[in-house]
């Protein structure tokens, strides 16, 4: 039960990153975009990062040291929107990559382990106690 709630919180957060962040990037990029990076604008990317950060901080308000995973996930979401890796639509890649970044960030603050490996990131029991309270 806790694993399901834990995964749902991260996925909901990443979909909110997509909805509000991508919308703010489009609005600010079209309205105020002067510095172009490829097809996108720097102003839109900064707007997406800011909105994702504010939403993430509010979503994980009760978790100590939440800033680290939220900054990481917001940065990954903004860069994914800017770069569009492998030419895949950012509606698919933003939730995927930002969820991986949240998982990594919360795993780091839950364990404070410097000797981590990729397989330990897939273990939801490490973070579920941190997020489910």
| Residue listed under structure tokens 């960030």 | 105
Closest to 103 in 3D by CA, of 119, 90, 115, 88:
119
Give pLDDT tens digits for 96-133. 999 889 888 888 887 776 666 666 665 666 666 566 55
pTM of the model: 0.82
Give pLDDT tens digits for 76-105. 999 999 998 888 888 999 999 998 898 888
What is the chain's percent helix, strand, coil content, to nearest 5?
A: 75, 5, 20
Higher pLDDT, 4 or 43: 43
Answer for the pair 81, 45: CB distance below 8 angstroms, yes or no. yes
Residue 26 CA to residue 58 CA, distance in Å, equals 22
Give pLDDT tens digits for 49-58. 999 999 999 9
Answer for the pair 99, 72: CB distance below 8 angstroms, yes or no. no
């Amino acid at each position: 039960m806790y694993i399901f709630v834990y995964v749902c919180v991260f996925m909901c957060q990443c979909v909110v990153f997509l909805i509000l962040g991508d919308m703010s990037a489009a609005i600010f990029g079209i309205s105020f975009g002067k510095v172009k990076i490829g097809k996108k604008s720097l102003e839109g990317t900064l707007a997406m990062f800011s909105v994702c950060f504010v939403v993430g901080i509010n979503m994980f308000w009760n978790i100590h040291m939440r800033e680290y995973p939220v900054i990481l996930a917001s940065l990954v979401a903004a860069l994914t929107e800017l770069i569009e890796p492998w030419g895949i639509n950012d509606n698919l890649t933003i939730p995927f990559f930002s969820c991986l970044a949240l998982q990594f960030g919360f795993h780091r603050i839950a364990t404070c382990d410097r000797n981590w490996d990729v397989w330990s990131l897939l273990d939801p029991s490490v973070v579920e106690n941190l997020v489910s309270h």
